[in-house]
Amino acid sequence: MDTRAEFFIGGRWVRPLTSDTIDIVSPHSEQVFATVPLGAAPDVDAAVAAARSAMSGDWGHSDVAERAGALRRLAAEVIKRGDDIAATITEEIGAPVSDVRTVHVDYAEPMLDYFASIATSVDGVDYRSRDSERSLVRRIPLGVAAAIVPWNGPLLSPLLKLAPALAAGCSMVLKPAPETSLTGYLLADAVAAAELPPGVVNIVSGDRETGECLVTHPDVDKVSFTGSTAAGRRIGELCGSRMRPVTLELGGKSAAIVLDDAEVESTAQSLLPNMFSNVGQVCVADSRVLVPRRRYDEYVAAIASVARSIRLGDPHDPATAMGPLVAERQLDRVQDYVRSGVAEGARVVTGGHRPCSQTTGWYFEPTVFADVSQSMRIAREEIFGPVVAVLPYDSEDGAVRIANATDYGLAGSIWTKDIEHGIALSRRIQSGVVAINSFGGRLVAPFGGTKASGTSSATSARARSASFRPRRRRAS
């Protein structure tokens, strides 16, 4: 049992002001393996006050060299703790040891270094003139940022909020998800070792009520939230009533559009991470695969074969490729959607059940549906599990209509040998990110969605990005 009894506030470990705790449960064993304190309003007050103090002190007047140096020191300390962080993430969310370090940890260093390198772009003075009028535009830190992050990216989600905030010269109060609070403690250890000024980063574990205390705190200047669309709407309402800037990165129901020139077997294999990464618990997952009707049966068979090839099991086993879902409620949610799909007339090609091989744990087989219509729940709603629907289209115009026929607009992908055609087609997809022959979301591109996938108060014009990877032909 790993028991934590303090919060990281003002550069030191401090006792909570209540005695309530959070139990962290292993999704593999279904047993409690750690306990952390549950933050309440007084703890949030202390964390925000520390962040405000940092903004009033040297950090609020720091230069870009100081900020870049802080980010690079933090990157080094995170990587030093890489093995411990990876092992903790395996315990918390069931990520397999075979890839948890690569997927969840090692990306932290280049990401922090990237934001350190662009720190200069958010500082300085811009002189503008027209005719006899001259203006001076100065960028200054916004102030205290509040960040609420989900459990599916225990390290990278916090860092993707922390890094740009620090690059801009802001301080932050971070609330990790209850399920992954231990990773938050290891991040706090790295912050302390990196010798960031006291109060620049404060981490308080808690639940939904803790998050609401943080979002509504009068001394918070900006809120950034990643999570469900339902929670995002609530946070948006709270911030809107307070005229508080807010960034919301919410759910998705992304479509992979496979064009007629793509090769069946290699495309199905390449789609594997898009469909089933992190047990499908990824906001940018391609949970709908749109394929030409004339090749529909081929693609259904190939995608089902890929799903069957995934080794499901104990995440501590190096041979395991897919572990359990994060919580029992998540398993219940996935099972409900599978039952719904069958009831509405879709056909389960493979999967659809809890595996007999696992006597404990919230496991569910990689599942592929065929004969899916756009009106079905499994084609319209975010499942957040290892469930993929394969839908046919008759023309590219039809594929675009199906891809856009959703309340969401976060990500997607296009699969083709003709990169330029893929990029042109991506302009018609109502998503923040569209990958070409790849997985949605790249560090050097803006990230965010439209419609029910979220909003950013930082821009008045929507940024849309298309990342691409050339398809290599197999040697004959």
Higher per-residue pLDDT: 471 or 270: 270
pLDDT tens-digit map of 50-84: 999 999 999 999 999 999 999 999 999 999 999 99
Q: Which string of b and e fits 107-143 if b means at least 16 CB within 10 Å?
A: bbbebbbbbbeebeebbeeeeeeeeeeeeeeeeebeb
Q: Which domain holds residue 361?
A: 255-447+464-468
pLDDT value, residue 1: 86
Q: 425 phi and psi, to 5 degrees?
A: -65, -35
pLDDT value, residue 443: 62
Assess if residue 474 is contained within a domain.
Answer: no
Burial of 312 (0-12, 13-18, 19+ CB in 10 A): buried
Known catalytic residue: 91? no
Name the one residue in this structure whose structure tokens are 């609401």. 212
* 99 and 231 fall within a common domain: yes
* 260 and 173 fall within a common domain: no
pLDDT value, residue 460: 34
The β-bridge relationship of strands 2-3 and 171-175 is unpaired
Q: Span 439-454, mean pLDDT?
A: 79
| Strand positions, DSSP E, 265-403 | 288-292, 347-350, 367-370, 387-393
pLDDT value, residue 32: 97
* 242 and 388 fall within a common domain: no
Q: Span 256-262, mean pLDDT?
A: 98
pLDDT value, residue 472: 45
> Distance between CA atoms of 42 and 49, rounded to whole angstroms?
10
* 106 and 228 fall within a common domain: yes
Assess if residue 459 is contained within a domain.
Answer: no
Structure tokens at 432: 């923040």
CA torsion, ordered 21, 281, 165, 198, to nearest 10 deg = 30
* 333 and 222 fall within a common domain: no
pLDDT tens-digit map of 76-114: 999 999 999 999 999 999 999 999 999 999 999 999 999
Domain boundary among 201, 233, 249: 249
Q: 379 phi and psi, to 5 degrees?
A: -95, -15
* 74 and 143 fall within a common domain: yes
Assess if residue 273 is contained within a domain.
Answer: yes
Residue 384, classed as helix, strand or coil, is coil
* 71 and 196 fall within a common domain: yes
Domain boundary among 249, 273, 295: 249
Q: 345 phi and psi, to 5 degrees?
A: 105, 0
CATH code, domain carrying 317: 3.40.309.10
Q: Span 237-255, mean pLDDT?
A: 96
Catalytic residue among 77, 212, 249, 365: 249
Computed over every residue of the chain, the mean pLDDT equals 93
Domain boundary among 198, 228, 249: 249
> How much is the pTM?
0.93
Higher per-residue pLDDT: 440 or 208: 208
pLDDT tens-digit map of 346-369: 999 999 999 999 999 999 999 999
Name the one residue in this structure whose structure tokens are 């703790």. 81
Assess if residue 361 is contained within a domain.
Answer: yes
* 69 and 128 fall within a common domain: yes
pLDDT value, residue 445: 73
Known catalytic residue: 249? yes
Lowest mean pLDDT among 13-22, 409-418, 439-448: 439-448
CATH code, domain carrying 113: 3.40.605.10
Assess if residue 265 is contained within a domain.
Answer: yes
pLDDT tens-digit map of 425-443: 999 999 999 999 997 655 6
* 200 and 177 fall within a common domain: yes
Assess if residue 189 is contained within a domain.
Answer: yes
Which runs of consecutive H residues, i.e. helices, occur in 118-225? 156-167, 181-193, 208-215
The β-bridge relationship of strands 412-415 and 171-175 is unpaired
Higher per-residue pLDDT: 467 or 195: 195
> Distance between CA atoms of 180 and 435, rounded to whole angstroms?
29
With 50 as the cut, is the pLDDT of residue 458 above it?
no
Catalytic residue among 170, 213, 239, 283: 283
Assess if residue 458 is contained within a domain.
Answer: no
With 70 as the cut, is the pLDDT of residue 243 above it?
yes
* 259 and 162 fall within a common domain: no
CB 332 within 8 A of CB 342: no
pLDDT tens-digit map of 324-348: 999 999 999 999 999 999 999 999 9
Structure tokens at 467: 């990342």
Instruction: Give 119's pLDDT tier (boundaries 50, 70, 90).
Output: confident
| Strand positions, DSSP E, 394-473 | 408-409, 412-415, 433-436, 450-451, 454-456, 465-468
pLDDT value, residue 461: 38
CA torsion, ordered 384, 390, 396, 402, to nearest 10 deg = -50
pLDDT value, residue 474: 38
Q: Span 378-404, mean pLDDT?
A: 98
Instruction: Give 28's pLDDT tier (boundaries 50, 70, 90).
Output: very high
pLDDT value, residue 272: 96
pLDDT value, residue 437: 94
Q: 3 phi and psi, to 5 degrees?
A: -115, 125
* 49 and 185 fall within a common domain: yes
Lowest mean pLDDT among 138-142, 263-267, 405-409: 138-142
Assess if residue 476 is contained within a domain.
Answer: no
Domain count across the chain? 2
Q: Span 14-22, mean pLDDT?
A: 94
* 403 and 286 fall within a common domain: yes
